[in-house]
Structure 1
Amino acid sequence: MNSVTAQSHPRPWQVFAALSVGVVAVFLSLSGLTVALPTVARELDASGAQSTWILLGYMLVTTALILVFGRLADIIGRRPLYLAGLVTFTVATGLCMLAPSAGWLIAARVLQGAGAAAVVTNNTALLTDTFPPHTLGRALGWNATVAAVAQVVGPLIGGAATAALGWRGLFAVVLPVGLVAIAASIWVIPRGPRKAVQREPFDMAGAVLSTVLLTAVVLALTPGVSSLWRLPWACGGASVVLAVVFVVVQIRRTHPLVDVSLFRNRGIALVLAAVLVNAVATYAVTLLVSLYGQAVNGISAVAAGALVMPVAIGTVVAASAAGSLMLRFSSRTLTATGMALNAVGLFGIALMLSPDGGSLAAIAPFLFVLGCGTGLFMTPSTSALMLTAPADRRGIANGLRSTLQNVGYLLSTALALVFATAGLSAAARQAAYGGTLGALGSGEVSRFVDNVRIVGIALALVALAGVAVCLAFPHRKVNATVHTLEPVELLEESA
């Protein structure tokens, strides 16, 4: 593992700043395209399936490689892998900006997702290596805040860039951010001593199995795949078989891709489950509200970005307060409250949707509540996980968290798009992605809005299930003296 102790780095907040720039680049690229998608679909004449893969291609590759890069980081070092990811991501961003066709853009997004995976996997682990315990909780809280803000502000920036420069403007904004991240990271992220863990072999079988497994899951759920393969159930069946084989292989490996022993700690297992549930419940909302505003109300990309801004505001407010709240309340209380707020926001959004467009302003308060729930959930859950994991397994622990979070993003997006466009004709589906559904008549619009309502209610029920998961967390509060979680107490909460 290529790491340093916090005491050997005199300016850890410089490392935080450099890592934050990389986080901003990755999450702007991930979320900024949601409001620009209708413009992309129209200008590149993308089909419904191609429009879906412009989003999911990036997410699938990122998710599939996070586990792989998490393990590699523990073996070869986090700094070199992080820098390689930043360079790959930035080069791919330039290729996205130059894309002449939907196929080119999908391929460039896949490469971009591979770079993003290396960045996401190493970000939190590098912070944990750099900061001393008494400031680590604060650093992780701010890191979660930066990621959340970049993700939820991305639609506004994407909409503004699209309005000013066309859809390529989003990538024109992300490109210099990536370049700055590379320069800053090379300058301030320290090199560390090589450790014995580097002699551990890499689990190639586990890497291949995990990648194929996640791909099969997404293919089973993705719109357009059934018409291409005509056997979507085969992908689902293959997913089940691959999951069983993967678990068996990991148990038998001396140095597995996934350290199964981490799941023997009840606290870690519950946090990871909550991360997955939270991601499924909340991620697709920004995309659905943006599509609703453009397809039903006919608003522009920049207006769609402004429409979802209450999520960003709520996230910033709650995430900023979460660090202080952790001194008074347990992670169980904070995460359960955050998940409950998510459920309230989702139910409210579903109720406010109308086939005639209704008042978009009526959705804003519920989007704000959703943002508060997201911000309140992230910081205590991330801090608890990273401080509970053994130091030489923080890379894979963070990789598991990021993988499950991205699996949740994938499931949320794929399922939301499947059910939101269910029953629509191919032309209506393409019009929904292109923001021109209103031109096809009230029947298609009503069907689309009804579908989106159903998706919103279903996601709210998922969030309620997440409340139950969070309430099962071990009851531990933050140590008010050092402003962080007590790792020893958490480690004792084993099954």
Structure 2
Amino acid sequence: MTTSLTSPAATADDHGPHYKWIALSNTTLGMLIATINSSIVLIALPDIFRGIHLNPLEPQNTSYLLWMMMGFLVVTAVLVVSFGRLGDMFGRARMYNLGFLIFTISSIFLAVTWFDGSSAAIWLIFWRVIQGIGGAFLMANSSAILTDAFPTEQRGLALGINGVAAISGSFLGLLVGGVLAPINWHLIFLVSVPFGVLGTIWAYLKLEDTGVRKHAAMDWWGNVTFAVGLVAVLVGITYGIQPYGDSAMGWTSPMVLSCLIGGTLVLAAFVVIETRVAEPLFNLHLFANRSFTFGNIANLMASIGRGGLQFILIIWLQGIWLPQHGYTFEKTPLWAAIYMVPMTVGFLLIAPISGALSDRMGTKWFTTTGMVITAGTFAALVALPVDFSYPAFAIILLLNGIGMGLFSSPNRAEVMNSLPVDARGSGSGMMTTFQNAAMVLSIGLFFSLMISGLATHLPDTMQSGLVANGVPDADAAQIAQLPAVAVLFAAFLGYNPIEMLLGDQLNGIPDASRETLTGLDFFPHLISSPFADGLSAAFTFAIVCCVIGAVASLFTNPRKSAVPEPARSTMPDVRDSGEPSPAPLAELVDADTRPGS
């Protein structure tokens, strides 16, 4: 089969000097609303479950809770590579526009949920999955559209601004959700609709395909094995943090082990298939490029290191620190988002600047320094007492945002600049897959480390604390043996865990003891020491990941661009000629290894 590289009839320059800014503003809007919706549900979960009259802490409802949190991330992780490849084949703007449309339609159906109970939970999860499909189209093609539209010397700035939208959206989602959900939980989905409608119309009217297209057959075996393998692994991780039998977690469950082992074997088969098909989904030849390989390793490690940070900070603030400082459990979700703002500020201040400077100075030292700073902030969080002074906490979060900002934009520019022009969609999809899969993996690992720390000391601490406040020995022993994950989820959702766990048993306890048990101090003091153990383990793991990411960044290409740019407006239009490409793909990929390149 002959494959041809084809250039569009019009290039970015043919649309005028302002087209690149139109592309940047539209893709930034798309990434912003996609990532806002990836996190907006987290802070709104208590109001959603109260609104549909479902208790998320009951064992039969835990899976609804997990898939409401993780479904969007799992779907985007699985599909971005395939959708990036479709963008390479049929037009990146076309696939991006389709994603905006799907995202908007799903937001409408999420906002109009009208029924209750488990049926409503399944409906919400289904449309969150569809919303994730739309988000995958947006994420897979936005970086490729910008790389096509901007010249090499401005790409770091453009990708930096887009990256700011992508990561800051996840923090803004917490704030928006915290404000809107207490008013009416439907609003957290409805708020995306006008922006989605505007963005969809704007994209269809203004965005054009300006990059090289590659007409090729779809790698069906690669798509199937990749999707099945990755879904199995991510599902295994999702259910691994749930209790199984007498175990605090489900890592020994036959279902979890089957998913993890089976998924890994299917992914191994996927790698073999990709080396034998003519037009692979994952172009493994791209890994011959040093910048692409080590840039993705650094991105993977950074995503694993910071992916679970948001969850851990929410639990820390909502379950311990805010109640100790007078905030009721019902108000802690919103205030947790507010107190995490310094991280967003640090990222917003630095990411565009680092992207612009890396265009002139190269990316290596920005990405390496960013990872070192981020590792240092995790070490500072380990050293911080559980009942911390907020100014110190805010400074650490600000520095963490600065470190991520220094790393994120130059790293994305480094990877995208290393790609040949006909592989930008699939290459961007591969990068986003590593990032989103790492987020799910990170959440599973962070939760597991936290639950392990809690499960070791929490039962004895809880039993002695309950007995000391008038709870009968038998009842205290029974409550103390409840899974640590239930306590963790209660804190994460802004519930008063002791009130939830004791329920009707509170009626038989003297008034003074009842007030103590359900007050704002008892649970935070009870959980502080066990929580500190889990916190130390989770953040130590994050430090290791960041150090590996810093080392990987040192091995990226020292130049500003690893792949020479073709002439932007002089390439002949061979869209349907069937003629071979004038420059073979392997030659472009290995451009950084040629003498004098």
Q: TM-score, normalised by structure 2?
A: 0.76
Report the Cα distance in structure 2 between the residues aligned to 1:48 and 1:352, rounded to whole angstroms: 32
Change (3 A) 1:450 1:343: same
2:546 is aligned to 463
* Contact 2:153 2:360 (C-alpha < 8 Å) held by counterparts: no
* Contact 1:144 1:378 (C-alpha < 8 Å) held by counterparts: yes
Correspondence 1:155 to 2:174: yes
Report the Cα distance in structure 2 between the residues aligned to 1:59 and 1:447, rounded to whole angstroms: 29
2:15 is aligned to 9
Matched residue type, 2:349: V
* Contact 1:9 1:130 (C-alpha < 8 Å) held by counterparts: no
1:434 is aligned to 493
Q: Among 188, 207, 228, which residue is 2:206 paired with?
A: 188
* Deviation of 1:135 (Å): 3.1
Report the Cα distance in structure 2 between the residues aligned to 1:243 and 1:139, rounded to whole angstroms: 34
Report the Cα distance in structure 1 between the residues aligned to 2:351 and 2:489, rounded to whole angstroms: 37
Q: How does 1:400-479 map to 2 (within 5 A)?
A: 400-422=430-452, 423=455, 424-425=483-484, 427-439=486-498, 441=523, 442-444=525-527, 446-476=529-559, 478=560
1:244 is aligned to 268
Report the Cα distance in structure 1 between the residues aligned to 2:112 and 2:394, rounded to whole angstroms: 35
Change (3 A) 1:156 1:88: same
* Contact 1:156 1:305 (C-alpha < 8 Å) held by counterparts: yes
1:67 is aligned to 81
Correspondence 1:218 to 2:234: yes
More helix by share: 1
Report the Cα distance in structure 2 between the residues aligned to 1:323 and 1:430, rounded to whole angstroms: 37
* Contact 1:420 1:452 (C-alpha < 8 Å) held by counterparts: yes
2:586 is aligned to none
Unmatched 5+ residue regions in structure 1? 479-484
Q: TM-score, normalised by structure 1?
A: 0.90
1:86-130 per-residue CA deviation (whole Å, 9 max, x = no partner) reads 111112122222344322222221111111000100111111222
Change (3 A) 1:415 1:39: farther
Q: How does 1:34-433 map to 2 (within 5 A)?
A: 34-43=42-51, 44-46=54-56, 47-99=61-113, 100=116, 101-163=120-182, 165-191=183-209, 195=213, 197-198=214-215, 200-222=216-238, 223-224=241-242, 230-296=254-320, 297=322, 298=329, 299-326=331-358, 329-354=361-386, 357-422=387-452, 423=455, 424-425=483-484, 427-433=486-492
Report the Cα distance in structure 2 between the residues aligned to 1:428 and 1:379, rounded to whole angstroms: 37
Matched residue type, 1:187: L
2:35 is aligned to 27
1:129-181 per-residue CA deviation (whole Å, 9 max, x = no partner) reads 22234433332222222223223322222222224x23332212222221111
Matched residue type, 2:487: A
Unmatched 5+ residue regions in structure 2? 1-5, 323-328, 456-482, 502-522, 566-588
Report the Cα distance in structure 2 between the residues aligned to 1:243 and 1:133, rounded to whole angstroms: 34
Report the Cα distance in structure 2 between the residues aligned to 1:136 and 1:20, rounded to whole angstroms: 14
* Deviation of 1:232 (Å): 1.8
Report the Cα distance in structure 2 between the residues aligned to 1:253 and 1:486, rounded to whole angstroms: 26
Matched residue type, 2:224: V
* Contact 2:159 2:355 (C-alpha < 8 Å) held by counterparts: no
**Count of matched residue positions in the alignment of Structure 1 and Structure 2:** 483
Return the index of the structure with the highest Cα Rg: 2
* Deviation of 1:418 (Å): 3.0
Report the Cα distance in structure 1 between the residues aligned to 2:363 and 2:420, rounded to whole angstroms: 19
* Contact 1:2 1:76 (C-alpha < 8 Å) held by counterparts: no
Change (3 A) 1:494 1:247: farther
Matched residue type, 1:346: F
Report the Cα distance in structure 2 between the residues aligned to 1:96 and 1:292, rounded to whole angstroms: 30
* Deviation of 1:353 (Å): 5.0
* Contact 2:418 2:563 (C-alpha < 8 Å) held by counterparts: yes
Matched residue type, 2:148: D
Aligned-pair identity in percent equals: 26
Report the Cα distance in structure 1 between the residues aligned to 2:593 and 2:176, rounded to whole angstroms: 44
Matched residue type, 1:212: V
* Deviation of 1:36 (Å): 2.3
Change (3 A) 1:102 1:361: farther
* Deviation of 1:225 (Å): 8.0
Matched residue type, 2:162: N
* Contact 1:58 1:113 (C-alpha < 8 Å) held by counterparts: yes
112-121 vs 145-154, which moves further: 145-154
